[in-house]
Structure 1
Amino acid sequence: METYQKKLDKKIVKHEIKIVDRKVLEVTGVINIESFDSQEFLLETTCGYLAVRGDNLHIKNLNLEEGLVAIQGNLFDMGYIDESITPGEKAKGFFSKLFR
């Protein structure tokens, strides 16, 4: 099985999170955006899946070649999900199970 580190063109990309005033979330080491809407984002990172919840969320900056994503809006919570998501599984259903 290929590790997360190898998925970004064999580069070792450091995963970091920066939050500015609960309004902007900057994440490095992002491999893919699995799903998103104005209330929930699911990011695949080099350290696993990162779930972000909030209100009026939108992408401020996106550069998947460099593994960078910035999300703007009112941030409520975030956390890592250790289970992998099966292909075709919707994030809404996944989040509804996770945040009951």
Structure 2
Amino acid sequence: METKKESGKGKKSNLTLENRKKMVLSGVLEVISFDDKCIALDTTLGTLTVRGQELKMNKLDVQNGDIIILGQINSCVYTTTESKKDKESIIARLFR
């Protein structure tokens, strides 16, 4: 079965955090890795890393890209997949 990654343009992603104990997330393309302290997800907006304690994936709907994470959530960090060429510094542009 072939999987197709869709770009973040035009796709919606929502993140709801309730009392740092329950996270509801949509727009998930793939679960990269998970354990009870860290869950890494590929989303339509980039890679999302969720860190905490006693983390569990309660509901994973692959068709719709929805997931519910339970546990003590300490941080959520998005990492974009933009290329460095798009973000050239002013100095790099001056010395072309």
TM-score, normalised by the number of residues in structure 2: 0.74
Aligned partners of 2:36 and 2:79: how far apart in 1? Answer: 20
Amino acid at match of 2:77: G
CA RMSD of aligned residues (A): 1.9
Task: Check if 1:37 corresponds to 2:35.
Answer: yes
- Which sections of structure 1, spanning at least 5 residues, go unmatched? 7-11, 85-100
- Does the 8 Å CA contact 1:4/1:48 hold for their aligned counterparts? no
Which piece of structure 1 moves more, 62-71 or 75-84?
Answer: 75-84
Which residue of the partner structure matches residue 49 of structure 1?
Answer: 47
- 2:74 paired with 1:76: yes
Residues matched between the structures, number:
78
Point out where structure 2 has 5 or more consecutive residues left out of the alignment: 83-96
Question: Following the alignment from structure 1 to structure 2, what is the Cα–Cα distance between the partners of residues 44 and 37?
Answer: 16
Deviating above 4 A after TM superposition, structure 1's stretches of 4 or more consecutive aligned residues are none
- For the pair 1:4 / 2:7, whether they are aligned, the reply is yes
Aligned twin of 1:62 = 60
Identical counterparts, % of pairs = 29
TM-score, normalisation: structure 1 = 0.71
Question: In 2, Cα distance between the equivalents of 1:82 and 1:5?
Answer: 10
